[in-house]
Structure 1
Amino acid sequence: MFRISQYLRELAQAEATGSYPAVRERGARGPVVIWNLIRRCNLTCKHCYALSADHDYAGELSLPEVFTVMDDLKAFGVPALILSGGEPLLRPDLFEIAARARQRGFYTGLSTNGTLIDAPMAARIAQAGFDYVGISLDGLRATHDKFRRLEGAFDRSLAAIGHLGQVGVKVGLRYTMTAMNGHDLPALLALMQEVGAHKFYFSHLNYAGRGNIHRDKDAHHQSTRAAMDLLFDHAWAAARAGSLDDYVSGNNDADGPYLLQWVRQRLPQWEGALRQRLVAWGGNASGQMVANIDNLGHVHPDTMWWHHDLGSVRERPFSQIWNDTSDPMMAGLKQHPRPVQGRCASCQYLAICNGNTRVRAQQLTGNPWFEDPGCYLSDAEVGAASTPFESPAKKGTRRTIEIAHA
């Protein structure tokens, strides 16, 4: 996750004081764990990576197993759990799991589609002490309901935001931009203010179908750049106003270099300081500082790697699985710098983005270390040229990998 607002608040402070703020170093810790506790969902969304449906799935972790895993995660230094699904509110023991997570001292988030949250459910969520609830909106009413394949889904999710706000739960909007909903982004940013949400998570589509060449002319990349400009402008206005609203992005670590370019054009005196901060951030954290456990207990480098199984927490503790670099993929993801190829290998921003999202390269070319086709920076901007490739699958095949949200 790229914390846009964090960096722009630092820049606003630097502008006000004349000195870039020092940042407290954090000690060693384990990864943030996104935990898909259940695969069942009351919706069948077009962009679901879990391919969820409204029925039970056999073999999911029991409550005692969840508690055992949670104890290992705590001992391993995991700071945060994001409880997800499917739709996590369909898991009958969710609030027992949440209570245990809070008791063990985890920062605990809930990722939900929001359609099941009425006033009583909002009160239960508040009582459970969730630090944050993310509710997914794919656009305004017509767009969202089409994506969610349920008429009225938008109104129910919007009502959930209001119910949560009334009981003091911090809530944010989650949005994945595609060619079919990009036109709704400005309105959603305005809606965030209207409904009192305090966070906007912009997820890039894990797109792997175009973009190997002519990135500066690719329509998808141009719309991505325009969207990031809009997010940066909103976050900068909020930072200068002293607002605590957060704007963050995910699934495309080119956002870091693109913000550096944005600052170079507007606040060039702080470019060097920001570059140091972005290098310290380190870019893509799959297999490093973000992890995924699916509903059956299988561990993955992140939520987009469900096709790559690192092992089961029923057979080995998560802590052992995560530190095991006998798996070539994990060894490469943990390597610094990563063994990336193509233009990523000679990119001037490699130390910032860490080679971006490896799953896109793997799905398009069969080679996880090839250049990321989702990078929206031009060859001139990164100081490297794109490398032609031929997919080991069918030549000319274009596949799209989509990020899921609850």
Structure 2
Amino acid sequence: MTLPAARTATATGAVTSAPTVTSAPTATSARTVPVASTTDPQPAPPPRPWALLAELTHGCPLHCPYCSNPLELTRRAAELTTTQWADALHQAADLGVVSAHLSGGEPLLRSDLEAIVAAADRAGIHTQLVTSGVGLSRARLDRLADAGLRSVQLSVQHADPGANDRIAGRRSFADKERAAAVVREAGLPLGLNVVLHRHNLDALDDLIDLAPAWGADRIELANTQFYGWALRNRAELLPSREQLTRARRTVTRRRAELIGRIELVWVVPDYFDGNAKPCMGGWGAISLTITPDGTTLPCPAAASIPGLDPPNVRDHRLAWIWDHSNAFTRYRGTDWMRDPCRSCALRERDFGGCRCQAYALTGDATATDPACRLSPDHTLVDDLVDAPAPPEGARGGLGHPRRPSRSAETAPEGAA
């Protein structure tokens, strides 16, 4: 899976505190909220989310070394059922969600994907399929479109077929090219997503050329974000400063050439600019993630933070999870910050950067994101960027996800 560009969005309406409850209600019980005195000042309500990342499965035909899925992948037998996903989507819509990325893993592996899309459509949620393209036939896409699918985002690993297949861990370039043609024939909007790293940045011009060649309306050039498998393989994936300088020049030139025809999105790299990104538009501010087993998170990597105790939609209503759970309230707003973030003029814009990245680099999720030049830990990032690259071909330490299969496991309700 690749992380959506919402990780770099700006937030609106973030609050500095969230209300508390005396106990956590279950999915079938009423919420218990303390009654405040009529003379007490009332806290501002939490912002409402509009975006959902629905990770339907960790199963995937590809084995990309930068995948943001966790190192411990969810077994297929532990996935939410069709009915549970439909209920979660309706709860998300009631909460304010209007857009959902249906992702994974590879969502096409869910034989009930059409039913999940239809449930989202009934709830009034715009759905985009985030796919490797492997297994996307015209017949399948027609069924998905009939169910209410609105657009497709297709991942590409490299413009050269052989290099693409090596990065993906299997032959897949031809499948992607066919999938793009199928989407174009069906008349659905097509976006390409390219995760950029040391092994494909120098092919950026050729990668951008795929957008007009394959009929895409949009291409997202997403520099690797170091979570999950990408963090495991960081030394192998980190580009050089020189590569990124050339890439920025290429993006500026090609964006001018494609203006008015194809939208070109550049997701800035985490370690190189000296700025903290406004991750997910603020913690618990505009979006949420539901993982294959129903664990619900403020961002896809949040489960990596110890003590967060993320809740599950099997046990709690989404409204309670969003408004009151520790996982969503702990870093919402700015009250949790310490200096230099607390006194920084940008604290309402970058929210102290990424909590997961702060924990991954410092062991402290409340630390200023070391990507920020004002962080006392910024030298950690500089040292990583300036470290010598591994020798060419020395890939012994590169890890690839070993994907869960459905063999000898129980399929979700509604799946074949």
Task: Tell me the SS of whatever aligns to 2:76.
Answer: coil
1:336 and 2:353 aligned: no
AA of the residue aligned to 1:339? M
Query: With CA pairs under 8 Å and 6+ residues apart, which has the higher RCO, 1 or 2?
Result: 2
Distance, in Å, in 2 between the alignment partners of 1:207 and 1:60 is 25
Residue 247 of structure 1 aligns with which residue? 264
Residue aligning to 2:25: none
Aligned equivalent of 2:312: 312
CA contact (8 A) 1:283 1:354 kept: no
Q: Decide whether the 8 Å contact of 1:33 with 1:81 is kept in 2.
A: yes
- TM-score when scaled to structure 2? 0.68
Cα contact 1:2–1:253 (8 A) shared by 2: no
1:40 deviates by: 1.6
> Given the superposition, is the C-alpha separation of residues 92 and 225 from structure 1 closer, same or farther in structure 2, using an over 3 Å criterion?
same
Residue-by-residue CA offset, 1:221-258 (whole Å, 9 max, x unaligned): 5534543443344334444xx33x32334475899998
Q: Could you tell me how far apart the structure 1 residues matched to 2:132 and 2:313 are?
A: 27
Alignment of 1:253-272 (within 5 A): none
Q: Which moved further from structure 2: 227-236 or 66-75? A: 227-236
Structure 1 residue runs of 5 or longer lacking an equivalent are 8-27, 211-217, 259-277, 392-396
Contact 1:33 1:290 in 2 (8 A): yes
User: Going by fraction, where is helix more abundant, 1 or 2?
Assistant: 1
* Alpha-carbon distance in 1 for matches of 2:380, 2:246: 30
2 CA distance for matches of 1:402 and 1:226? 28
The 2-side partners of 1:285 and 1:401 are apart by: 31
SS of the residue corresponding to residue 157 of structure 2 reads: coil
Instruction: Provide the C-alpha distance between the structure 1 equivalents of 2:378 and 2:255, rounded to a whole number of angstroms.
Output: 37
- 1:120 equivalent in alignment to 2:117: no
Equivalences for 1:12-91 in 2 at 5 Å? 29-50=48-69, 57-91=76-110
Deviation at 1:282, TM superposition (A): 9.2
CA distance in 2, matches of 1:42, 1:228: 31
Match of 2:285 in 1: 288
State the match for 1:227 in structure 2: 247
Secondary structure at the aligned position of 1:156 is classed as helix
Match of 2:361 among 359, 364, 372: 364
Distance in 2, Cα, partners of 1:291 & 1:402: 26
> CA offset at residue 125 of structure 1?
3.3
Distance 2:69 2:377 in 1: 32
The match for 1:176 is 195
Distance 1:401 1:31 in 2: 34
C-alpha change, 1:45 and 1:53, in structure 2 (3 Å) is farther
Alpha-carbon distance change, 184 to 299 in structure 1, aligned in 2, over 3 angstroms? same
CA apart distance, 1:338: 6.4
Q: Which residue of 2 aligns with 1:159?
A: 178
SS at match of 2:191: strand
Cα gap change, 1:317/1:226 in structure 2, threshold over 3 Å: closer, same or farther? farther
Could you tell me which residue of structure 2 aligns to residue 275 of structure 1? none
Which amino acid letter does the alignment assign opposite residue 188 of structure 1? Answer: L
CA spacing shift, 1:372–1:229, aligned 2, 3 Å:
farther
How many residue pairs match? The answer is 334
Query: Which residue matches 1:271?
Result: none
- Does structure 2 retain, via aligned residues, the 8 Å contact 1:41–1:52? no
> Does structure 2 retain, via aligned residues, the 8 Å contact 1:123–1:167?
yes
Distance change (3 Å), C-alpha of 1:108 and 1:401? farther
Stretches of structure 2 that go unaligned for 5 or more consecutive residues are: 11-46, 232-237, 382-386, 389-396, 402-416
Distance in 1 (alpha carbons) for counterparts of 2:378 and 2:316: 41
CA RMSD, aligned part only?
4.0
Determine helix, strand or coil for the equivalent of 1:101: helix
Report Cα offsets for 1:182-230 as digits up to 9, x if no partner: 11222111111111111112222123899xxxxxxx9645534543443
TM-score after normalising by structure 1: 0.70
Separation in 1, partners of 2:102, 2:137: 19
Distance 1:282 1:207 in 2: 13
Report the equivalent of 1:186: 205
Contact 1:207 1:374 in 2 (8 A): no
Q: Do the aligned residues in 1 keep the contact of 2:280 with 2:287 (CA within 8 Å)?
A: no
- Distance in 2 between the 1:285 and 1:127 partners? 35
Residues 353-389 of structure 1: CA distance to partner in whole angstroms, max 9, x if unpaired? 33332211210111123333445xxx5xxxx475467
Query: Which amino acid is 1:284 matched to?
Result: G
Task: Decide whether aligned partners of structure 1 residues 299 and 400 sit closer, same or farther in structure 2, where only a CA change above 3 A counts.
Answer: farther
